[in-house]
Structure 1
């Protein structure tokens, strides 16, 4: 009886220990990231409610596109969250994002539903910026943490995380299958909902299936943590011992003369960056030619794609698509955006490691491919908006993880949380140029022409609408030319980095793993935790000990 109680008590302790191990594991952190990222794409829903904002507040297309620009600016200008992440833990970053999200969208809701006085345009832009900027906080808190935990598989991590999940190795493939299954199920639901009329119960049923698929990765987390726990138990039974030596050399106080010299050479070092792949400072990365090329190329590539997404509501309305089709366009963009992120991350990682195929060249191909979607919109081919939504979503999704991975490879991981957000600024810049100054201006110009042709005049506060293929034709021909220019600029980066990508860009991280397997903590900035070193360490059992225990 006593033995049974002890055994039962031991089992309870083991279960408690296992439960705490699951909650504190890196894999559970990734599962939490899945949930966070799956609800962090509200910016892509702008096309669903943009017409309501336009009608209720009486905006013209230029003003509405200005509002969408501030949405893109807030969603991509995450430098503040990156700097905050440098000094506080991730949970603080996530909490700040939640507060900003609620405040921004709540104020927009109050304005559109006329529960407050009609706001000024600058106030709506501010609300939209705050609401969209809240997305950069979970992006930074989740993405940067995972990239630092899995530096050797950053392409896969970025591909899945920018889709909404991330992990590495063989476990990542299991997450990929679940993610693709979820995307496929949602795609089938979109088709059925456009063909059939769903009841409230059927909507609840389909939403429940999506929720189950979303929670399914938790099974993988528990399974892998159980395997780790079993391996440790077996190693413990052989009385093996793991010695992890962490060397912390004493800090050497800087002499006043050296500190003065360091400050004097700061500007000089800014323009003398280290070799590619080493850790750049923030200023060295910002003022580098490689970052400038990336900025121009992605501004052209993502700027045109964001223009399509932000104008889907008006595009569908001007070309005569029914309302439910506009909702389908936005869903298609979201699904193929996810698939573009996943496939670009995985495919670029595979061809890079096996064939040294440079990621900047893949970025060039993706930007070039997006020109096809823009041309379909420009010439208003029948049902072209369905295909354009797919291509735009895929190309935009593919560009983002490629951009993030290239930045981490060229400029290192030490200040990655800030440099990642610096690179993302290119998206709102491109959005402002193409969305506000080109598409919005030309749309309003054509709308005024149509209104005057009907003998009408627009009253102050009245929304301005345009119909027909001419509304966006010239705008998207200009965007196509600019996107083509962006792909040519990207080729310059391919030429500049060709030698770097011919080598082993992950050599530093492989050496750190070897050091950790030898029982010595790595000294680089690979971001490998002590727990990872313990899990990867090879335990050697002396033969003499094994025989004496037998």
Structure 2
């Protein structure tokens, strides 16, 4: 009789061998998931085209021979396109994600392309059609954002907040990148080049991102049991790289503009190699450590399915409870009818309206602010770069709640409140000393930092409070405050701007009246500062009302 063959498995189990290297196919699938995130980063880095409006707004005003109020309506029209951003959610119901991506690229191509033809005097269009082209360009930005949101949520279900914070942060780097391209092509070229870049670059980047975007999400893309640890290491590495990119673009470097631009492009391509390098480093480090020590911590990742099961059971029991008492709690999925009946939503809406939206309108007026203070167009470009760079840094900081959850018991809405504090301070600083160049740059940096954090954290807050599955529609409902705020704040600024032209502080440039002097925006800064204080109070009330929600989310998580 032959000996039994069941005597070896116990012996092999006692040896607890080191884990085998991941198979190439599994590793490739894991890497392809990260290429989706990198593609979303590229899309965001090329589609923050609304931030460079102030770089060419003065020339657009001169060519069209319009007043400051009518120029403000062009900025409002661009933001008004965002009010139709919900249409991208419906488009996803009928078209693939790649189709929505190229529809956004086509809208941007036409919207900014028409404006470039107008400002370059190739064609002459009535003012109304220029308004339509601005709206189409603004709508394209919302469609791009929706594509990136869906990619992050589909491919990073358990860490979508980290993915969203990282991806959205790169939207703030667009003006600095476009400024580098402008300087590399010809520093003395007309500002109309910005419109040409806004039209062509997103279309080109969309073509590059097509292959990763078509990658289908997989329920199990991990090459090993330690995937959650590897994911966290990759996210940390990508955030560090993003921070390096921020400082690289912010601080002047003794390089020619073409070399400076080449370095920025390399920093945007480098994230493709980060997942492979991090995984290889983690595997080699684990292999060099004692086997029983490293394997003892894998249990944390092995318990993750149990956590998900517990969360699923909690969700199912909550669903049954809601069916019994017909009440939807904050943190559950919210339809539009439920959303607009929530006091928390309106506090959130007001905080965003009086915080991030004011920062966006301020950035749109940077060209006129610099012009009114007698500064050159290069100074205006510097202010745009400062705003965008610190907005980028603020967007990176929006991931702080995810990295510091165990050290600081502060909810995401609490961080939101803290992020709003620099905005009123900056406006009051501008009102007190608007003529000092260093003061303007410092205040611009503070407003960019604050608004960048708000823009990036808003998606995760919307997901936390009103449901992850409804974030696409609910977030687009939230940002309807942008065109409203753009009109209200822009009208206040233009009205006070033009009222000062009657006091003798004016000049005429190409038949358009230009206000000159610190009084042009003095009262505007005071009004904006007071309104941002109101937004700060609203965000604090939101923080107080939602602490229990985040406590419940933390209990479900752990």
Q: 1:416 aligns with which of 455, 471, 474?
A: 471
Range with bigger deviation, 81-90 or 362-371: 81-90
Deviation digits for residues 152-172 of structure 1 (CA, Å, limit 9, x no counterpart): 43442222111129x951111
Q: Where do residues 434-453 of structure 1 align in structure 2 (5 Å cutoff)?
A: 434-435=489-490, 437-450=491-504
Q: Secondary structure at the match of 2:374?
A: coil
1:370 aligned to 2:377? no
Contact 1:54/1:64 (<8 A) preserved: yes
Query: Secondary structure of the equivalent of 1:464?
Result: strand
Give the TM-score normalised by structure 2.
0.73
Measured after TM superposition, the shift of residue 366 of structure 1 is 1.8
TM-score by length of 1: 0.74
In the alignment, the residues of structure 1 paired with residue 365 and residue 262 of structure 2 have an alpha-carbon distance, to the nearest angstrom, of: 31
The residue number in structure 2 matching 1:328 is: 382
CA RMSD of aligned residues (A): 3.0
Deviation at 1:353, TM superposition (A): 4.6
Q: What residue is the counterpart of 2:166 in the other structure? A: 160
Distance in 1 of aligned mates of 2:28 and 2:407? 38
User: What is the deviation of 1:480?
Assistant: 0.7
CA distance 1:376–1:168, shift in 2 (3 Å): farther
- Taking the TM superposition and a 5 Å limit, the aligned residue runs for 1:42-121 are 42-75=49-82, 77-117=84-124, 119-121=125-127
Deviations 1:88-120 (A, max 9, x none): 332121111010010001110111122122x23
Whether 1:401 aligns to 2:456 is: yes
Task: Tell me what 2:38 maps to.
Answer: 31
Structure 2 residue 235 is matched with structure 1 residue 172 = yes
Runs of 4 or more above 6 Å deviation: 225-230
Partner of 1:496: 545
Q: Secondary structure at 1:325's aligned position in 2?
A: helix
Query: In the TM superposition, what is the alpha-carbon distance from 1:281 to its structure 2 partner?
Result: 2.2
> In the aligned structure 1, how far is the partner of 2:126 from the partner of 2:406?
53
- Distance, in Å, in 2 between the alignment partners of 1:286 and 1:350 is 31
**Matching residue of 2:262:** 208
CA distance in 1, matches of 2:327, 2:521: 44
Deviation, 1:287, is 3.1
1:272, 1:325 → 2: CA distance? 58
Displacement of 1:85 after TM fit? 2.6
Work out the CA distance in 1 between the residues paired with 2:479 and 2:537: 20
Partner of 1:259: none
Deviates more, 1:332-341 or 1:369-378: 369-378
Q: CA, structure 1 residues 140+366, in 2 after alignment: closer, same or farther (shift >3 Å)?
A: same
Alpha carbons of structure 1 residues 318 and 277: separation in structure 2 relative to 1, 3 Å = same
The unaligned stretches of length 5 or more in structure 1 are 1-13, 193-197, 231-241, 245-267, 511-550
Q: CA deviation at 1:432?
A: 1.4
Residue of structure 2 in register with 1:428 after alignment:
483
Aligned to 2:248: 185
Cα distance change, pair 492–315 in 1 and its aligned pair in 2 (3 A): same
Matched, 1:278 2:332: yes
User: Is the CA contact 2:424–2:532 (under 8 Å) kept in the aligned structure 1?
Assistant: yes
Q: Which residue is 2:372 aligned to?
A: 318
Contact 1:77-1:133 at 8 Å conserved across structures: yes
CA distance in structure 2 between the partners assigned to 1:94 and 1:467 by the alignment = 43
Alpha carbons of structure 1 residues 273 and 40: separation in structure 2 relative to 1, 3 Å: farther
- Alignment of 1:463 with 2:512, yes or no, is yes
Shift in Å, 1:82: 2.3
Q: Is the 8 A contact 1:90 1:142 kept in 2?
A: no
Residues 188, 107 of structure 1: CA spacing in aligned structure 2 closer, same or farther, 3 A cutoff? Answer: same
More off after superposition, 422-431 vs 37-46:
422-431
> Residue 144 in 1 paired to residue 147 in 2?
no
Cα deviation for residue 430 of structure 1 reads: 1.6
Count of residues paired in the alignment: 441
Does the 8 Å CA contact 1:282/1:419 hold for their aligned counterparts? yes
Partner of 1:536: none
Using the TM superposition, give the Cα deviation of residue 211 of structure 1 relative to its aligned residue in structure 2, in angstroms. Answer: 0.9
* Deviation digits for residues 486-540 of structure 1 (CA, Å, limit 9, x no counterpart): 11112221221122223334726x7xxxxxxxxxxxxxxxxxxxxxxxxxxxxxx
Deviations 1:303-346 (Å, cap 9, x if unpaired)? 3212210110110111122221111110111111110011122x
Q: How big is the shift at 1:220? A: 1.6
> 1 CA distance for matches of 2:540 and 2:64?
44
For the structure 1 residues 186 and 298, does the alpha-carbon distance in structure 2 shift closer, same or farther, using more than 3 Å as the test? same
1:531-546 alignment, distance < 5 Å: none
After TM superposition, give the deviation of residue 139 of structure 1 in Å: 0.9
Give the drift of 1:19: 9.1
